[in-house]
Amino acid sequence: MDIREKVKENFRFELVHKDKNSNARAGIIHTPHGEIPTPVFMPVGTHGAIKALQPNQLTDMNVPIILSNTYHLHLTPGSDLIKKMGGLHKFMGWDRPILTDSGGFQVFSLQGNSITEEGSKFILPGGKEILLTPETSIDIQQNLGSDIMMAFDECIPYPADKKYTKNSIDRTHRWLDKCIETWDNPNQALFGIIQGSTHDEFRDECLEEVVKRDLPGYAIGGVSVGEGSDLMEKIVKRTGPKMPTDKPRYVMGVGMPEDLMMIWEHGMDMSDCIIPTKFARGGTLFTNRGKIRITHKNYRNDKFPIEPNLDDYVNSNFSRAYIKHLFDSNEILGQILATAHNIAFYKSLADRAREAILEDRFLDFKQEFLQGYLKNDGNKNKKRR
């Protein structure tokens, strides 16, 4: 039996409801480590950890899935060691689903790499070289034991001309076939990635080629790479509704609340980004009335919680004044509470979006949220999607 047939026994997507007034949809992704209600935002734990938080804190917030990084875990401590320790779930003390990216984004983001038909060569600090290939990427991810593996691809930089884009997506399709040939664990689902830069014809071509492989899920890659919000929306709006309705749809690397609203409206189910955790550690916190910089002097005597309408642990127990004090005092608890708040806010946003979709009022929910969020967010001139 083909691996793609075997994996259907352990992984499937259930479409629960589609909003009557948009392409927004609510579903459930069934995996060996639990169910993932969608739409879902995945916090990023690059090295097998969400910075500043313990796994049980994520469980208490009912976060259903996290993302970890293949490339970085390959460098340290090494996927062989993690496999010997019982896999990434056991290694990091997390018993819910994990998605691992392929290392393809690092082909785009890290300097000193070279791309060949075989794969991508990375030059590490000190001059050491490593070669990441489609085969090694899948081998590493299978050692990690993630529930969802991403195919190894090239994240095309912006801007990219048509010749470069065509050569890149053709290679990505060949790499995808090598990923499928290497994949042999039916407990792990492999997602294909749709590239094509900002060129409609290549996005369509890549979508057609990737979907031909009949994979458990599909992702839109190559956005949030400098193309701007208008081009990002153009890509997602065109590609999202064309993706199979019976498989999860994932937009990689999208994390601002206004962009989440956009991708959800166009039928996407999953997204991830470092923004909520990275911003939190710097003192930027998300609220329904926009972002706030907690270190600002205005919060010195503020007795209110960060977000009064959120009943999570942080907002039920601590004031803005206290969290500002922690940052001013360089107390690590400040970063911990800020990170917990931002993740709870993003979780709440996805939950509220799901509820609105189930009640066929997503567009009203989106408009109401953005009116409040953008009004006080310093984005008065920003397009309100």
Q: Which residues contact 193 (CB under 8 A, 6 or more apart)?
A: 102, 104, 150, 151, 153, 172, 176, 210, 218, 219, 220, 221, 252
Nearest-10 crossing angle of helices 362-375, 332-358: 150
How far apart are alpha carbons 367 and 353 in whole angstroms?
A: 12
Q: Which residues contact 310 (CB under 8 A, 6 or more apart)?
A: 341, 344, 345, 348
**For residue range 169-206, what is the model confidence (pLDDT) as tens digits?**
999 999 999 999 999 999 999 999 999 999 999 999 99
Given the residues 101, 259, 269, 312, the one annotated as active site: 101
Measured in whole angstroms, the distance separating CA 77 from the mean position of its chain's CA atoms is 23
Residue 385 has pLDDT above 50, yes or no: no
| 56 CB-side CA count, 13 A | 0
Pick from 369, 345, 346: which is nearest to 356 by CA? Answer: 369
Residue 20 has pLDDT above 60, yes or no: yes
How far apart are alpha carbons 80 and 77 in whole angstroms?
A: 8
What average pLDDT does this structure show over 208-225? 97
How far apart are alpha carbons 121 and 124 in whole angstroms?
A: 10
**For residue range 80-118, what is the model confidence (pLDDT) as tens digits?**
999 999 999 999 999 999 999 998 788 767 645 688 999
**For residue range 118-131, what is the model confidence (pLDDT) as tens digits?**
999 887 777 788 88
Given the residues 259, 269, 272, 377, the one annotated as active site: 272
Q: What CATH number should be reported for the domain whose range is 3-273?
A: 3.20.20.105
Task: Give catalytic status of residue 101 as yes or no.
Answer: yes
pTM: 0.96
pLDDT band at residue 135 under the 50/70/90 scheme: very high
> Could you state, in order of their start, the residue ranges of all structural domains in the chain?
3-273, 280-375
Average pLDDT, the chain: 95
**For residue range 40-86, what is the model confidence (pLDDT) as tens digits?**
999 999 999 999 999 999 999 999 999 999 999 999 999 999 999 99
Residue 159 has pLDDT above 50, yes or no: yes
pLDDT band at residue 380 under the 50/70/90 scheme: very low
What average pLDDT does this structure show over 219-242? 96
Q: What pLDDT shows up at residue 377?
A: 67
Q: What pLDDT shows up at residue 383?
A: 43
**For residue range 277-330, what is the model confidence (pLDDT) as tens digits?**
999 999 999 999 999 999 999 999 999 999 999 999 999 999 999 999 999 999
CA distances 141 to 69, 83, 267, Å, are: 9, 10, 27
Residue 378 has pLDDT above 60, yes or no: no
Contacts 24+ apart (CB under 8 A), 323-331: 323/294, 323/299, 324/294, 324/295, 324/296, 324/299, 324/300, 327/283, 327/294, 327/295, 328/295
How far apart are alpha carbons 227 and 220 in whole angstroms?
A: 14
